[in-house]
Amino acid sequence: MSGATSTSRSRFDSGPGNAMNKLQSAQEAIASLESGMTIGIGGWGPRRKPMALVREILRSDLDDLTVVSYGGADVGMLCASGKIRKLVFAFVSLDFIPLEPYFRKARQNGDIEIMEIDEGMLLLGLRAAAMGSPFIPTRVGLGTDVLTRNTGIKMIRSPYDDARVWVAMPALNLDAALVHVDRADERGVCQIKGPDHYMDDLFIRAARRTVVSCDELVATEYFHDNAEESRYVFWERSATTAVVHTPCGAHPSSCNPLYGIDVEHFNTYAASAREEDGWQRYVDEFVAGGEEDYLNKVGGVAQIKSLPAPVY
Amino acid sequence: MLVDLLITACSRAWDDDGEVLASGIGVVQRLGASLAMHKNPDLMMTDSEAYMVSEPVPIGPRDGYEPQRETWMGFSRIFDNVWSGKRHALVGPTQIDRFGQANISAIGDYDRPKIQMLGVRGFPGNSISHANSFFVPNHSKRVFVDGEVDMVASVGYNPDRVAEGWKLDDIDIRIIVTNLCVMDFRGPDHQARLVSLHPGIEVDQVVENTGFELCIPPDVAETPQPTSDELKLIAQYDPHELRASAVK
């Protein structure tokens, strides 16, 4: 545990109740999900993806999933393993490898159903779900094939005097959201210290249940040391259902400032897509043996933590 | 180098802009934006990650340079900026049609694409909210297609796609810089128009490599060569010469 050096102390004795403990193993957390669910995945492209949780899904018998994501290898791996029935996305990319190889295969083979929308529409869909609204009106999507290809997205006439029709971006209600954070306590206070929390707060709020993996599990006192620490907490703990402690759980995506993108591993992953049975070999080598085995295979925690932050 | 001329031409996309976010997506586009911000310090740029900066960040390894951050600008806030209209993006679509509609999503049959690319990304929102320009390193009929692009990711001047209560003038496509010429959409009824030819390029070469009819004014200017000051600035913003491999 980090944060053990805390010097701040409450001057009150603790009361009779026990604080909630949301700590679960990755297996327990993923076992709480069901096939056919709509699952939102936080992060952005190759950045702070809950990859340890994704690998746990690969090890599970979950399937028939609808996945909502600013996609990276999370989407690629779930495509490769046939877990995705439908994908809600604006892009899938590893940035330095622009075209995600397994997503590409899945699309070009016609393997998955899709709802392709603008990045901002995805944000609005999550926000609508978070607000409990059926939709949010927007101009985004007008005139494009996002509307012709998604006949489920309706238009609405403004009830005010602008005399325009608007895109009624429907709520993207999630059964579950998976997010990776820098650190959390066992009550579900979650901190993202990196430069961007992306839309993770919206994924969390759009979901009925949420699983947050964390690089570091800390005592609550960690947040007491310095008021600045709580400025990096983007949702209240009642929105966190389960906390899973997964050191380097975003690997091979980045968890800036703790570690950067593992370019070499992404290259290995992308190369596997060009080989016959490449995905099965990737799974056998990196996924099947469990998370401890994975971390050893990719060089260990110390090595991952030395990966430099990406330069954009 | 041709690429320096292209970067300089790209930088002029922002000539008529005031205090807007200049987003150049791609090496040539970003260097163009950097040059534009040097000329017009009211422009805003990001570090391409999560902050706005007071001066353009050189591309590639930083070698000790620290971006001059001034405002947090995470992705959620980018959309607030996009929807405010105070942005002008210069992007590199894979296909562009006569309406200025552009595609970065997929080529071929949508249900089973021949080539799946990125997805529409932010193109729909960008194109209906703020000014956009395009950079095309390989001017050809594969990019400038006959008919409509395979997947309309960004809206253009297509009268058949205007939603009720909206106008074509709500759309603002500025210029297209290619390896042959500069174009805009200021022909009759927003027709694509040839603005200038790069040195040594003939009108016929542009026409032969464009899948739709262009408005060709009687006198077409030559795209200006970069000045020595501009060349110095480009070298400064691209110390590792990443631009050398940006154009074939």
Query: Residue A41 forms beta bridges with which residues?
Result: A69, A178
Which of A119, A164, A202 shows the shortest C-beta gap to B164?
A164
State the smallest CA–CA distance between residue A49 and chain B in angstroms. Answer: 15
What is the distance between the alpha carbons of residues B192 and A239, in angstroms, rounded to a whole number?
51
Question: Does residue B29 contact residue B91 with C-beta atoms inside 8 Å?
Answer: yes
Q: Does any CB of chain A come closer than 8 Å to the CB of residue B187?
A: no
Q: Does any CB of chain B come closer than 8 Å to the CB of residue A54?
A: no
The verdict on a CB contact (< 8 Å) between B161 and A143 is: yes
Q: Does any CB of chain B come closer than 8 Å to the CB of residue A117?
A: yes
Query: Residue B96 forms beta bridges with which residues?
Result: B102, B144
Question: Does residue A74 contact residue A98 with C-beta atoms inside 8 Å?
Answer: no
Identify whether A143 is part of a domain. no
The verdict on a CB contact (< 8 Å) between A144 and B51 is: no
Q: Does any CB of chain A come closer than 8 Å to the CB of residue B169?
A: no
Identify whether A147 is part of a domain. no
Identify whether A28 is part of a domain. yes
Instruction: Read off φ and ψ for residue A22, nearest 5 degrees.
Output: -100, 10
Q: Pull the structure tokens for residue A40.
A: 């939102």
B-facing residues of A in 209-268 (CB < 8 A) are none
**Mutation to test the B interface, candidates A47, A89, A145, A202, most B Cβ within 10 Å:** A145
Classify each residue of B147-180 as buried b or exposed e, where b means 16 or more C-beta atoms within 10 Å of its C-beta. Answer: ebbbbbbbbbbbeebbbeebebebbebbbbbbbb
What is the distance between the alpha carbons of residues A285 and B99, in angstroms, rounded to a whole number?
50
Domain with A109, as residue range(s), is 15-134+172-304
Which of A91, A118, A195 shows the shortest C-beta gap to B49?
A195
What is the distance between the alpha carbons of residues A46 and A292, in angstroms, rounded to a whole number?
22
The verdict on a CB contact (< 8 Å) between A123 and B153 is: no
Spell out which residues of chain A touch residue B62, defining contact as CB-CB under 8 Å.
311
Q: Pull the structure tokens for residue A185.
A: 């306590």
Question: Does residue A152 contact residue A170 with C-beta atoms inside 8 Å?
Answer: yes
Spell out which residues of chain A touch residue B113, defining contact as CB-CB under 8 Å.
107-108
Spell out which residues of chain B touch residue A162, defining contact as CB-CB under 8 Å.
165
Q: Assign A184 to helix, strand or coil.
A: strand
The verdict on a CB contact (< 8 Å) between A90 and B119 is: yes
Instruction: Read off φ and ψ for residue A129, nearest 5 degrees.
Output: -60, -40
Q: What is the pLDDT of residue A225?
A: 87
Q: What is the pLDDT of residue A3?
A: 45
Q: Tell which residue, A147, A148, A168, has the closest CA to residue A158.
A: A168
Question: Does residue A152 contact residue A124 with C-beta atoms inside 8 Å?
Answer: no
Kindly list the distances between the CA atom of residue A5 and the CA atoms of A1, A12, A230, B17, B204, in Å, as whole numbers in the listed order.
Answer: 10, 19, 17, 52, 74
Task: Extract the residue ranges of chain B whose pLDDT is less than 70.
Answer: none
State the smallest CA–CA distance between residue A204 and chain B in angstroms. Answer: 14
What is the distance between the alpha carbons of residues A203 and A181, in angstroms, rounded to a whole number?
13
Q: Pull the structure tokens for residue A283.
A: 């799974």
The verdict on a CB contact (< 8 Å) between B79 and A103 is: no
Tokens 């975003």 identify what position?
A: A250
What pTM was estimated for this model as a whole?
Answer: 0.96
Q: Does any CB of chain A come closer than 8 Å to the CB of residue B164?
A: yes
Identify whether A163 is part of a domain. no
Q: What is the CATH number of the domain that holds A182?
A: 3.40.1080.10
Indicate the length of chain B as a whole number: 248
Query: Residue B95 forms beta bridges with which residues?
Result: B103
Count of Cβ atoms closer than 10 Å to residue A282 Cβ: 21
User: A91-95 — which CB contacts under 8 Å span 24+ positions?
Assistant: A91/A45, A91/A119, A91/B118, A91/B119, A91/B120, A91/B121, A92/B118, A92/B119, A93/A45, A93/A46, A93/B118, A93/B119, A94/A45, A94/A46, A94/A266, A94/A270, A95/A45, A95/A46, A95/A261, A95/A310
Q: Characterise A277 by phi-psi region: left (phi > 0), alpha (psi -120 to 50), beta (else).
A: left
* Residues ≥6 apart with Cβ < 8 Å to A182: A191, A192, A193, A194, A214, A215, A216, A232, A255, A258
Classify each residue of B59-78 as buried b or exposed e, where b means 16 or more C-beta atoms within 10 Å of its C-beta. Answer: beeeeeeebebeeebbbbeb
Q: Does any CB of chain B come closer than 8 Å to the CB of residue A154?
A: no
**Mutation to test the A interface, candidates B105, B111, B160, most A Cβ within 10 Å:** B105
Tokens 């570690």 identify what position?
A: A259
HSE at residue A162, side-chain half, CA atoms within 13 A, is 11
The verdict on a CB contact (< 8 Å) between B48 and A312 is: yes
**Mutation to test the A interface, candidates B76, B77, B114, most A Cβ within 10 Å:** B76
Spell out which residues of chain B touch residue A92, defining contact as CB-CB under 8 Å.
118-119
Identify whether A27 is part of a domain. yes
Question: Does residue A232 contact residue A193 with C-beta atoms inside 8 Å?
Answer: yes
Identify whether A225 is part of a domain. yes
Q: What is the pLDDT of residue A9?
A: 62
The verdict on a CB contact (< 8 Å) between B163 and A164 is: yes
Number of domains observed in the structure of chain A: 1
Identify whether A204 is part of a domain. yes
Identify whether A160 is part of a domain. no
Query: How big is chain B by its Cα radius of gyration, in Å?
Result: 18
A-facing residues of B in 35-94 (CB < 8 A) are 47-51, 60-62, 74-76, 79, 82-83
Task: Extract the residue ranges of chain A whose pLDDT is less than 50.
Answer: 1-6
B-facing residues of A in 121-140 (CB < 8 A) are 121, 123, 139-140
Which of B83, B121, B154 shows the shortest C-beta gap to A90?
B121
